[in-house]
Amino acid sequence: MPDLKCDVAVIGAGPAGSTTALTIARQGFDVLLVEKDDYPGKTNVCAGGTSQSIIKDLGLSPTLVEKEIRGGKHYFPWGLKSSNLRGITVYRNVFDRGLAEKAVEEGSKLLTRTMIKEVTIKSDRIQIKSKESSIDSKLVVFADGPHTLAHRRFGIGFEPRSDTTCISAVCEVRWEDNPLDQTEFYYGYEISPWGYGWIFPKRNTVNVGVGCLHSELNTNIIDSLNYLLRKHPLTHEKLKGKEIVWLRAALIPVAHAQKIFDERMLVVGDAAGMVDPVTGGGILHAINGGMLAGSIACDALEKDDCSARFLARYQQLWQRTPDFSFIYSKYLLSNLFLYLFKFDKSAYPKLAALTLGGIRQVMSTLKFIYLNK
């Protein structure tokens, strides 16, 4: 079993892990990014919609962009609403690989085909182990997604429960040179009691999926996806006869973690519940979280202090970011509407419509309602 040493070991080379490693490597520290798959993004399940800004902000190649998106169409039970929110779509097996390569270009090391199974705290270091290797470091960053070892082993990070996870089924459908350039969202009890269906266009495929809060799911999620693919009045004609390239199911965290640090440990991205609880979007939050985790790791190394007391600063600073305010406000609203759902079967579409223009619009709508009472 080869023994490796580094300043920081990052578990998971998704957007959160690679951004953390990139940030640490840029400061000249020795960082090792550890990924279970053959290459980053190989098995990632995602619709791939995100913000254009991340390409420029992280200095990534524009070739990672699959399609530019010029708005969204939201099909509510009461009618269509368009939004002009622009963005991009990416294939995660291309994007995650490109982001990890950027981290390597900046000095990070990448170890693939290495599934971490054990994490042990020693007096002056922390050790992570896979079947084949053992890695000693001063600090470990858990960026290993919603099934994080941080929670299973240490009780920190995201806790997967039926009321904190959305279960989703998603497939990539072949559609060469398709003309779509807007993301499409489909709401309604028959699609998903607490969630929505989507079509996100890429150049030669479209990503079709459905998500639902696990505790509110009243059927098999694959049946919901089949309904969207084969029966829904607005989508089935569009998708008729088209080949499904792959189909997978996965979890999305929809509640933030209570604690995201401990002695010699930080937790980031899905592993810390850094996801929009209404839309399930998490790529941008994972990247912003990764930048913060990376910079706190560098501070800890510079001061030679990886104690829980020092690392508590990470959670304090995260909770002051616009990302956290956005996630937390949507979490509170989501819980309020989940209560209303007991009396109103279209509570989720109403929540989605209310939050469509962002949290600022929600605040001004609530202010308007309050002042006009």
The 8-class DSSP code of residue 38 comes to S
Taking the least distance from each CB to ligand FAD, the nearer of 145 and 294 is 145
Strands 3-11 and 31-34: parallel
Alpha helices, DSSP H, located in 199-321: 221-230, 236-239, 283-302, 308-318
Using the contact rule CB under 6 A, the part of the chain among 143-151, 154-162, 215-223, 329-337 near ligand FAD is 143-151
Task: Check binding of 347 to ligand FAD (CB under 6 A).
Answer: no
User: Which residues does residue 32 pair with via DSSP β-bridges, in sequence order?
Assistant: 9, 109
Using the contact rule CB under 6 A, the part of the chain among 13-21, 232-240, 254-262, 305-313 near ligand FAD is 13-21
Contact 45, 250 (CB under 8 A): yes
Taking the least distance from each CB to ligand FAD, the nearer of 68 and 344 is 68
Distance from C-alpha of 11 to C-alpha of 127, rounded to nearest angstrom:
12
Contact 17, 25 (CB under 8 A): no
Place of tokens 């609403």: 81
**Which of 6, 8, 35, 65 lies at the binding interface for ligand FAD (CB under 6 A)?**
35
CB of 310 to ligand FAD, least distance (A): 23
Contact 6, 31 (CB under 8 A): yes
Task: Check binding of 11 to ligand FAD (CB under 6 A).
Answer: yes
User: Binding to ligand FAD (CB under 6 A): which residues in 167-196?
Assistant: 168, 170
Tokens of 137: 């470091």
Backbone angles phi, psi at 21, to 5 degrees: -65, -40
Taking the least distance from each CB to ligand FAD, the nearer of 41 and 349 is 41
Nearest to 334 by CA among 239, 246, 256, 244: 256
Using the contact rule CB under 6 A, the part of the chain among 6-14, 72-80, 133-141, 256-264 near ligand FAD is 6-14
Taking the least distance from each CB to ligand FAD, the nearer of 160 and 310 is 160
**Which of 6, 8, 10, 14 lies at the binding interface for ligand FAD (CB under 6 A)?**
14
Task: Check binding of 250 to ligand FAD (CB under 6 A).
Answer: yes
Task: Check binding of 98 to ligand FAD (CB under 6 A).
Answer: no
Distance from C-alpha of 257 to C-alpha of 273, rounded to nearest angstrom:
5
Task: Check binding of 269 to ligand FAD (CB under 6 A).
Answer: yes
**Which of 252, 266, 296, 351 lies at the binding interface for ligand FAD (CB under 6 A)?**
252
Nearest to 117 by CA among 214, 28, 36, 237: 36
Task: Return residues touching ligand FAD (CB under 6 A).
Answer: 11-17, 34-37, 40, 44-50, 115-116, 143-145, 149, 168, 170, 209, 250, 252, 269-271, 275, 280-284, 286
